[in-house]
Structure 1
Amino acid sequence: MGEIRPGPAPVPRFALPGLPVVVSAIGWLTGILLATWFAASFPFLLLFAAIGVLLALIYYWRTPTLRQPLLALLFLILGAWRYTGVLPGNDPLSIAHQISSRAVKVQGTVSDEPRLEGRTRLLKVAVEGIVTPGSTGWQTVHGTIEVQISGTSIEDVYGANYGDQLMLQGKLGAPPPHGPADVLAQMAFPRLTITGHGGNPLVAWLYHWRVQFMTLIEQSLPQPYAALLIAIVLGLRTPQLGSLSQAFNVTGTAHLIVPSGFKVTLTAGLVASCTRWFYEGWLATKLGGSRVRGWQRWLGTLIVLLCIAAYTVLSGAGSAAIRSGVMGGLLVLAPRLGRTYNIYTALAFTAMGMSLLDPLVLWDTGFQLSFLGTLGIVLFTPHIQRPLHPLTRLPGGHFLVETCAVTLAAQLATLPIFALTFQQISFIAPIANMLTVPLLGIIITLGLLLCALGLISALAATICGWLVWPLLWYMSQSILICAALPGAYLSVTTLDSRLAWLYYLPLSLWLLFLLKRQSSYPASEKPHVPGKSRSKWGQRLLYGGIAITIIVATAIASLRSQATGTTIIDFLRVGPTGKPAQGEAIFIRTADAKTILIDGGLDVPSLSQALDSRLPSWQRFLDLVILTVPRTDHLLGLQDVVTRYRVGAVVDGGMLHPSATYARWRQTIQEQRLPYQSLARGNVLTIGEYTSLQIMWPGAQLHPSKSIQDNTLVIRLVAPGIQLLLLGTAAQSQYALSQLSNQTTSGALGADIVQIVGDGQQPVRKELGPLIQQAHPSLLIETPPATQKKGHATGVTAIKLPETLSHMHTVNVGTAGTIEVTGDAQGWKVAPP
C-alpha cells in the first residue's frame, strides 16, 4: 500500500482574514453603544477592568477558545471607557456647563470650513477659554460650539474662516436638536473679533482651493447644474442646489451628491493611471534602467495616497469623506506591503480609528450611512443578485441586475437611518440609480478635468462645461421625474427610533450567517462579475461621437443666439418662490447681443436661476455689471455674479464713506481683475453699436450725506425703439430728485418708461411728481423694497403716487412678477407676465 499523506488543513469555518481586527472593532463599537445606555460616572473603574482583562488575555493567548472572546471584551471595556471620557458630565471643564441666559466672552479657533445656511454662515469653533459675569479672568474650557453669523460666501476675506482665532461675546444656548453630535452649545450672531490665525496651514490651503474650484465650475456652467457638479465632485452643498437636493433624497440617490467610497476609488484610479509612467513604459526604463526599481513604484503609490488625502479634504473632510479616504488609502497601500486587501478589515480599522479620535462620530448621519451602506453592499449584493439572475438574459441585463442588487443592498443596510434622518422611504431608488449611477464616473472625470483646465484657460474650462452640461441636465431631469412619480416614496414623520434596533437585530443574525458561509470559500476565490468585458474602442468612439455632437450643437446655438435686432429688458423679481421680492435686478440684452446686469437683489439662488434661464448654457460672460447704490439689497447678488461669470467691465457711482459690504465688493473686483470705473454725471457708455447709457446722477463730487440714496446712480438707456430712465432708489431721495430737476435741461430726461424703487411704508417725495412729468413716460415700473421694517406686514405694498400721476399706468414687480420689455425699430411693448 502506498504511503498516506495528509491533505491540506481544513479552513476554519469562521476564519476571516484579519479576524482579530474585526473582533476588536465589534467589541469597541459595542462598548461605545452600551456606554450610552449605562453611562458610567467613574471612568477609572472601567480602566481598571480593562487592565484586568488585558492580563487575562495575555495569560490565555495560546488558548483559541478564549482568545477571541477576551479580545472582544477588552475592546468593549476600552470603548466604553473612551466614550465616558468625552461625556460633558465627566468633564468639569466642558463648555456645556456654561449654557445660561447670561452674556459671556469666549475664545476659540474655527475648526472646520464654514457652512452656508440661507444668508448666514455656520462656524464650528473649538473653544479654549471663557469669561463669565463676575469672574476675574479667563477660565479654561473644552468642547465645540456652533456660531451663526451673517454672510453668503464660504470663504470671506473680511470674515472668519478655518483656522482663525476668535473672540466671541454673546449668549450660549443649547445645541441644535439635529446638529452635529460633537457640538455642545451654540451662539447666534455674537460680537465677533478675529485675534489671530491658527489651524493646519495645509488644510487651510486645500479649503481655499476647494472654493476656487467651486468658482471655476460656477463660471463654466449655469445653475443649478453648476451646483450639482460641485456637490458631485467636491461634496459641497451650495444654496443653488436647494431645488434638487430634496429630489435626490426621496429617490434614494443622495449618495451621488455626498462623499462616497466610489468617488475616492475613481479618483485613485485616475491618479494611478496618470502615475503609471513611473514604473511602466519608456520613461520608467530610463529612470530605473533595465528593470523597474522599487522606489519608482513607491513614488507612484505615494502620489496616489497624497491625492486621496487631498481629495478627502476637498470633499469637506466630513466623516463620510474620511471613511472613504482611509479605506481608499488602504486599498492602494496593501499591495505595496505585500498584503491582500480585505474589505472587512479595512472597514473595521477605519471605524475603530475614527471613533477612537472622536467617539461621537458614531452618531454622525454621514458616517452611519457611509459605513452601513458599504457593509451592506459587500454582504448582501451577491445574495440579492441570485434571484435576479434570469434577467441577465435580457439586453443589458447584467448591468440591470448589478445596479438593482447594489441599490437594494445599500437600502437594506441603511433603511432605518435614512427614514429617521430624512423621514422618507424611497421605492423608486432602484430605477433612479439605474438611470443615473452609470454617468457618475464620466461626470466626475469631466468635473476634475474642468477644474484642472480652468486653472490654465477659461475657454478650455468652458468647452469642458459644454461636454458635462447635457449629462448633468439628464441626471437632474431623471431625478426630478422619478421624484414626481406617484408612490415614489413614503413619508414617515412619526417613526420611533427604537424601531431601528428591532430592524437591525434580525439583520445582524443574517449577517453572522452570511459571514459563516463566506468563510468556507477560499480566500482567492472571487465571484464572477458579468457584463464587464466591453470594447474599449467602442466606448471611446461612443464618447467621442457624443462630444463632437455636443460641440457642434453648441456652436450652432451660439451662432443662432447672436444679434436679434431686439432689445430685451427684464425687470427681475428676485426672491424665493412664495415670499416677498428681495431687491431689484435688471437684465438687458441689447439688439446686438450685448448683456448688461444692473443690481442684484438679496437672494442669490433666485438671481442665478433668472440669469441662467435667460442665457444659453454655454454663455458665462456678461459685458457690463452696474451697481446703482451700495446697499445690501442691491449688492449681495452682484457679489456672487462677478465671481461666477466672466465680466467685461464693472461700474458704480462710488461711496463717500465705504462700508464693510462695499469694501468687500471692491476687494472682489480687484481679486477677479475686472476692469472697474466709477461714473458720474455726464459720462456716457456705448454698449455695442445701438445702445448707450447716459449717466444723469450723481455729480462729480459725491454729496456728503448719511443717506446713500442721495448718490444713487441714475441711468438713461437709449436703444432702438425705446428710452428708459432708471431712477432706482433716487426716487426716495429728496436731494437727488431736486438736483436732477434743477440741473437737467428740458427733454434730457425724456423716456418711454421710468423705473423706481418704491417703499409703500414711506411717503412719496413731493419732488418725484415733477421729475416724472418732465420725463413724460407712458409706463412706470416699481420695484418694491427688499426687506420690510419690523412691525410692518411682509406683503408687497405699492407706493401712493401724487394726484398728478394718478392717470399713469403703473406695474409693480413684487405683485406682477418679472416684467419683460422689448424694443426694436417699430417701437416697444411689454410682454404679459
Structure 2
Amino acid sequence: MGLPALLLALALGLACAPYLQTPPPWFVPPLLALTWYLARRRPLSLLLLSALLWTLGASLYHLHLDPPSGTGHVRAFINPEKLTLQARVLRISQRPGERWSADLEADRVIFDGIAAPVRGRIRLYVDTGPRHASPGDVVRLRTRLRAPRLFGTPGEFDFPRHLARQGIFATAFVPTGEEVVSLGPAPDGGFGLKLERQRSEIGAFIARSVNPGTAPLVKALVLGDKGGISPAQRDLLARAGLSHLFAISGLHLGLIALLLYVTARALYRRSTGLLLRWPPGRVLPALLAPALLAYLLLSGGALATRRAFLMGLAGALLLLWSRRTPPVKMLAATAFGFLLLDPLALFEPAWQLSFAGVLGILSLLPRWRLWTAPLPSPLRPPLLLFMSTAAATVATAPIVLWHFHMAAPAGLLSNLAAVPAVGFAAVPIGLAGALLLPWWPDGAAALFRGCALTIDAVLAAAERIVNLPGLGGWVHYPSPGETAALLLLTGALLMPSPGPRGWPARWMLSLAAAILLWPGGQSDALRVTALGVGQGDAFLLSHGGQTHYLVDGGGLYSDTFDVGQRLVAPALGRSGIHALKAVVLTHDHPDHRKGFIHILEHFPVGEFWSPLPVSDLHPSLQYALADRKIPARCLPPGWTTLERTDLTTNAIFVPEQSGKDLNDRSLVVYCRKGADGVLLTGDLETKGVAQLLGAPPPGPVTLLKLPHHGSRGSSPQLLVKRFSPDLAFVSVGAGNPHGLPHRTVVDYLRQRRVPLHRTDQDGSLRFTTEGKGWKAEHWVRGLFR
C-alpha cells in the first residue's frame, strides 16, 4: 500500500470522527496493530492496515479534542460567577478597531476568598482600551470563565475545535484593557515568551510608524498577525484572490528562500575552493535552513509555513545525501507526519489549502509548462507564474468555496503583479525593518513605511482589477453534494497518467460528480427549521423541498459578529437552498433583523414581507432592499391568506400596529400540512397574544413556537391551553442573562406533557411532517438526528 493510500485512511478516520457518538475503545488500535503485524504477509494485511489507520485517526481526534479533566485544570472553575484570575500572557493579537485578545496560561484563581493553583490556557477577549501587558508578563483580572461552544447551526465554523487544537478549553472577556493589571514579567520566561515579547514590540512599533489603515497588513506580512485587518480589507483581498498573500504561507517562505539562495550562491561562487569541494546546489539549501527557521519563528509559525519548512528541510537533506524522491511522495509524507502529531490540523482551512495548492502545482504545472517551450524566453516567467496560480486555484477551489464561500476569478490576473510585489519587495523590506529595529529604529520605521507603500500599490491595483467586468467575484454557499462533486472533478483533473490509461478513471469521477449534482426527488413534506442563532429568531419554512421562506434572520446586539454571514447563510447553503421565495420580518428588532442584511445582499429573494412600510424600517434594511431591487410588501392588520388548498394553508396574522411596543406588533406566520399546523409567534407579549386568540389561525396548531423566547410576560400558557400543541420549541441563547425560557413556562409545559425543544440545549431544530404528525430532529455531531 502506497503512502498516499495510508494518508487517505488516516485522514478519513479523522474526518469521520466528528460524526461518531463515542471514540473507538482504547484497545482497538493496539489490537488491530498486532493483528496486522501477524498477518502482514497475507492479502488481508492491506485491509487491516487501512482499518488500523482509520481507527487511529478517530481515536487521535477525540484524544486531542476532549478537554483535560481534574480539579487542577482551569475548566473546573467555569462558572456564571466572577472570579479573580492570575495568569501569564503567552500571546497578544490585535483585532479590528481597538479590540484585542490574549492567550493566557493560568496560574491561580481566587474564588469565594479561596486561592487555588490551576493550569490550562485561556483565550481572553478585550473589547477596547489600552494594553498594559506584554507576552511573558503576569496579569491579574476579574472575569467569568466560559466554555467555548457552538451555536449548533449547519455550516458554522467549529471554533471550540479550533481553540482545542491550541490547547485552549476556556475563554474569558473583559470590556476594557484597564481591567487587565500587569504584575510585571514572569521570572521563568523561556525562549518562546521572549520571542513573543519581541514580536509584540515589533508589532507595536509598526502601529506607531505606519498609517493606521495599512499597519495591520504590514503586521500580517512581517509577523503573521492578521487579526487587525478590517472587514473591508478582507473583502477586497478575498474578491481579488490575494488573501493568501497576507497569511504567511509556504509562498512567503519559498520566496525568502529563493532570495537567500540567489544571494548566497553569488557569494559562494567567489570561492574556487568551495566550488571544487561542494556544489552550491547541494549544500546551500541545508546551510540556509537555520535562517528559514528564524523566519518561521518570527512570522508566528503558521501551519502553511511549517509545511513549507518541513518539506524544504527534507528536500535539503535529500540533496545533501544525494538522494531523490518524487515531490508528491514527499508531500504525502509531510502530511502524514503532520496528522500524526497534530491531528486537528486536518480541519484547519490553512492546512487544507496549503497541501491542496502544492498538490495542484505539482500535478498540473509539469504538464502545462510543456506548452511554454516554443515561446520566447521573456514570456515564460510570467506565463509560468500565471500557470502556477491557475494550478493552485483549481486544486483549492472546492476548499475555498466550502470554507469561505467565495469565487475570485480576479486572482488569476491580480497575482501576476501582486506575488512579485509582495514576495520580492514588501516582505523583504518588512523583514529588513524587523531586523534593523534594535539598532536603528528610524531606519526600521522608513522600511516599514516602504513596505506599506508597496501594499497600498498592490491594493490599488487589486481594486482596479476586481472592478473590471466579470472579475468582481461572487459569493456562493455550496451544499455538501455540490462540494463533493467539485472535489471529484478536481480529482479527475489532478490525476496522474495523462495518457489513455487515465481516462476511464476520469470518466468515472466525472459521472459520480454528475450524479451528485442531479436534482433529487421532490417531497410533499412541510419542514420547519429553527436555526441556532443565539438570543434571536431565524426560522426556515420549506414546502416540498422547493419553496423556502426565511422568517426572521437573527442578530446579535454586538456589531462584531454578523449572524447572517456566519450562521444563517452557511446553514442555507448546507441545506441546498440558494434562493428564497420571501423573507419575513416579524418586527424590526436587532435580534430578528440584523441577520437579514447579508441574506438580502447575497441570495435571490422574491419578496420582503413585513408589518411595517419600508420607510419605517431600519436604514440598513431600506438600503439592502433598494440596492437589490427586492419588492417589499407591507401586510395589513388581521389574517392574510397566501395559499389555501384542501391539504395546505399559508397565512400571516398582523396585530394592530398603533401600539408603541414593537413586540406586541409582531407578525405571526401559520402553515398547515394536512392535520398538522405550525404557528410562529414572533415576540408577541400579552396584548398581542390576546389579539391572536381573538382571531385564531385557520387550522390546527400542533407545533408552537413560544412567543418572545419563552418569556413569562408573553403568556405562552394561554396559547398552549387554547391550541393544545403536540410539540413546542423556543429559540434562545445559551446562558442568556434574561433567564429564558422562564422557569414557570417550562414547568407549565411539563405539566401539560408538551415536549419543549430548545436551541440553546439542542442546537438547530428541524420538524418535518407530511400531515400525519411531526418528526423532531436536532443538530447533533454534524447531522440532524
TM-score (normalised: structure 2) = 0.53
Residue in structure 2 matched with residue 207 of structure 1 by the alignment: 196
Q: Are 1:429 and 2:411 matched, yes or no? A: yes
Give the match's secondary structure for 1:27.
helix
**Quick one: distance in 1 between partners of 2:341 and 2:459?**
38
**Quick one: distance in 2 between partners of 1:511 and 1:92?**
48
1:463/1:390 CA distance change after superposition, 3 Å: same
From 24, 27, 34, the counterpart of 2:9: 27
Give the match's secondary structure for 2:36.
helix
**Quick one: distance in 2 between partners of 1:482 and 1:172?**
44
Q: Does structure 1 retain, via aligned residues, the 8 Å contact 2:359–2:395? A: yes
Q: Are 1:507 and 2:486 matched, yes or no? A: no
Q: Does structure 1 retain, via aligned residues, the 8 Å contact 2:39–2:45? A: yes
1:516/1:39 CA distance change after superposition, 3 Å: farther
What are the superposed Cα offsets for residues 116-169 of structure 1, whole Å, 9 maximum, x if unpaired? 3421221123557667669x7648665x4321125667xx5x325257576653
From 150, 167, 188, the counterpart of 2:173: 188
Residue in structure 2 matched with residue 537 of structure 1 by the alignment: none
Q: Does structure 1 retain, via aligned residues, the 8 Å contact 2:360–2:392? A: yes
**Quick one: distance in 2 between partners of 1:503 and 1:98?**
45
Mean CA deviation greater in 66-75 or 251-260 = 66-75
Counterparts of 1:204-243 in structure 2, within 5 Å, are 204-214=193-203, 222=211, 224=213, 227-237=216-226, 239=228, 243=232
**Quick one: distance in 2 between partners of 1:229 and 1:217?**
7
After TM superposition, give the deviation of residue 410 of structure 1 in Å.
Answer: 2.0
What are the superposed Cα offsets for residues 143-201 of structure 1, whole Å, 9 maximum, x if unpaired? x4321125667xx5x32525757665324254476443425442110854556637863
Residue in structure 1 matched with residue 316 of structure 2 by the alignment: 332
Give the match's secondary structure for 2:226.
coil
**Quick one: distance in 2 between partners of 1:295 and 1:430?**
34
After TM superposition, give the deviation of residue 475 of structure 1 in Å.
Answer: 1.4
Residue in structure 2 matched with residue 57 of structure 1 by the alignment: 36
> Given residue 320 of structure 1, which amino acid in structure 2 is its aligned partner?
A
Give the match's secondary structure for 2:27.
helix
From 243, 246, 250, the counterpart of 2:235: 246
Q: Does structure 2 retain, via aligned residues, the 8 Å contact 1:227–1:237? A: yes
After TM superposition, give the deviation of residue 260 of structure 1 in Å.
Answer: 1.4
After TM superposition, give the deviation of residue 213 of structure 1 in Å.
Answer: 4.3
> Given residue 80 of structure 1, which amino acid in structure 2 is its aligned partner?
A
Give the match's secondary structure for 2:419.
helix
Counterparts of 1:496-575 in structure 2, within 5 Å, are 496=479, 499-508=482-491, 511=494
> Given residue 56 of structure 1, which amino acid in structure 2 is its aligned partner?
T
After TM superposition, give the deviation of residue 506 of structure 1 in Å.
Answer: 4.5
After TM superposition, give the deviation of residue 248 of structure 1 in Å.
Answer: 1.0
After TM superposition, give the deviation of residue 499 of structure 1 in Å.
Answer: 4.1
1:131/1:85 CA distance change after superposition, 3 Å: farther
Residue in structure 2 matched with residue 82 of structure 1 by the alignment: 60
After TM superposition, give the deviation of residue 99 of structure 1 in Å.
Answer: 4.7
**Quick one: distance in 1 between partners of 2:488 and 2:107?**
42
**Quick one: distance in 2 between partners of 1:205 and 1:517?**
58
Counterparts of 1:178-577 in structure 2, within 5 Å, are 178=157, 179=159, 180-182=162-164, 183-189=168-174, 192=180, 197=186, 201-214=190-203, 222=211, 224=213, 227-237=216-226, 239=228, 243-273=232-262, 281-282=270-271, 285=273, 292=277, 304-340=288-324, 342-383=326-367, 389=371, 393=375, 397-443=379-425, 444-457=427-440, 461=444, 471-492=454-475, 494-496=477-479, 499-508=482-491, 511=494
**Quick one: distance in 1 between partners of 2:33 and 2:118?**
35
Q: Does structure 2 retain, via aligned residues, the 8 Å contact 1:165–1:198? A: no
After TM superposition, give the deviation of residue 479 of structure 1 in Å.
Answer: 0.9
After TM superposition, give the deviation of residue 400 of structure 1 in Å.
Answer: 4.7
> Given residue 428 of structure 1, which amino acid in structure 2 is its aligned partner?
A
Give the match's secondary structure for 1:189.
strand
**Quick one: distance in 2 between partners of 1:309 and 1:515?**
37
1:167/1:331 CA distance change after superposition, 3 Å: farther
What are the superposed Cα offsets for residues 785-819 of structure 1, whole Å, 9 maximum, x if unpaired? xxxxxxxxxxxxxxxxxxxxxxxxxxxxxxxxxxx
What are the superposed Cα offsets for residues 210-253 of structure 1, whole Å, 9 maximum, x if unpaired? 34544665677656455544433433336476653321111111
> Given residue 91 of structure 2, which amino acid in structure 1 is its aligned partner?
D
After TM superposition, give the deviation of residue 80 of structure 1 in Å.
Answer: 1.4
Counterparts of 1:782-793 in structure 2, within 5 Å, are none
Q: Does structure 2 retain, via aligned residues, the 8 Å contact 1:425–1:492? A: yes
From 118, 125, 143, the counterpart of 1:148: 125
> Given residue 367 of structure 1, which amino acid in structure 2 is its aligned partner?
W
Q: Does structure 2 retain, via aligned residues, the 8 Å contact 1:377–1:406? A: yes
Q: Are 1:172 and 2:161 matched, yes or no? A: no
Residue in structure 2 matched with residue 579 of structure 1 by the alignment: none
Residue in structure 1 matched with residue 648 of structure 2 by the alignment: none
Give the match's secondary structure for 1:114.
strand
> Given residue 145 of structure 1, which amino acid in structure 2 is its aligned partner?
I
RMSD: 4.4
Q: How many equivalent pairs are there?
A: 487
**Quick one: distance in 2 between partners of 1:198 and 1:181?**
27
Q: Which has the larger Rg?
A: 1
**Quick one: distance in 1 between partners of 2:450 and 2:68?**
56
Give the match's secondary structure for 1:307.
helix
1:318/1:104 CA distance change after superposition, 3 Å: farther
> Given residue 201 of structure 1, which amino acid in structure 2 is its aligned partner?
G
Residue in structure 2 matched with residue 778 of structure 1 by the alignment: none
> Given residue 126 of structure 2, which amino acid in structure 1 is its aligned partner?
I
**Quick one: distance in 2 between partners of 1:111 and 1:465?**
25
After TM superposition, give the deviation of residue 95 of structure 1 in Å.
Answer: 6.0
1:160/1:174 CA distance change after superposition, 3 Å: same
> Given residue 436 of structure 1, which amino acid in structure 2 is its aligned partner?
A
Q: Does structure 2 retain, via aligned residues, the 8 Å contact 1:113–1:162? A: no
Q: Does structure 2 retain, via aligned residues, the 8 Å contact 1:432–1:482? A: yes
What are the superposed Cα offsets for residues 554-576 of structure 1, whole Å, 9 maximum, x if unpaired? xxxxxxxxxxxxxxxxxxxxxx9
Q: Does structure 1 retain, via aligned residues, the 8 Å contact 2:206–2:219? A: yes
**Quick one: distance in 1 between partners of 2:108 and 2:56?**
30
Give the match's secondary structure for 1:368.
helix
**Quick one: distance in 2 between partners of 1:305 and 1:164?**
34
After TM superposition, give the deviation of residue 366 of structure 1 in Å.
Answer: 2.2
Q: Which runs of 5+ in 2 are unaligned?
A: 152-156, 503-558, 560-785
> Given residue 363 of structure 1, which amino acid in structure 2 is its aligned partner?
F
Q: Does structure 1 retain, via aligned residues, the 8 Å contact 2:286–2:313? A: no
Q: Which runs of 5+ in 1 are unaligned?
A: 1-13, 520-575, 577-833
What are the superposed Cα offsets for residues 514-555 of structure 1, whole Å, 9 maximum, x if unpaired? 599999xxxxxxxxxxxxxxxxxxxxxxxxxxxxxxxxxxxx
TM-score (normalised: structure 1) = 0.50
After TM superposition, give the deviation of residue 89 of structure 1 in Å.
Answer: 7.3
After TM superposition, give the deviation of residue 329 of structure 1 in Å.
Answer: 2.6
Could you tell me the percent identity over the aligned residues? 20
What are the superposed Cα offsets for residues 275-330 of structure 1, whole Å, 9 maximum, x if unpaired? 55997644x85xx8x974899997x6665222222211221223233223322332
After TM superposition, give the deviation of residue 424 of structure 1 in Å.
Answer: 2.0
**Quick one: distance in 1 between partners of 2:461 and 2:58?**
46
After TM superposition, give the deviation of residue 452 of structure 1 in Å.
Answer: 3.8
Q: Does structure 2 retain, via aligned residues, the 8 Å contact 1:279–1:292? A: no
From 29, 38, 50, the counterpart of 1:72: 50
Q: Does structure 2 retain, via aligned residues, the 8 Å contact 1:102–1:133? A: no
What are the superposed Cα offsets for residues 681-704 of structure 1, whole Å, 9 maximum, x if unpaired? xxxxxxxxxxxxxxxxxxxxxxxx
**Quick one: distance in 1 between partners of 2:235 and 2:117?**
44
1:303/1:458 CA distance change after superposition, 3 Å: same
1:189/1:499 CA distance change after superposition, 3 Å: farther
**Quick one: distance in 2 between partners of 1:122 and 1:312?**
22
Mean CA deviation greater in 330-339 or 209-218 = 209-218
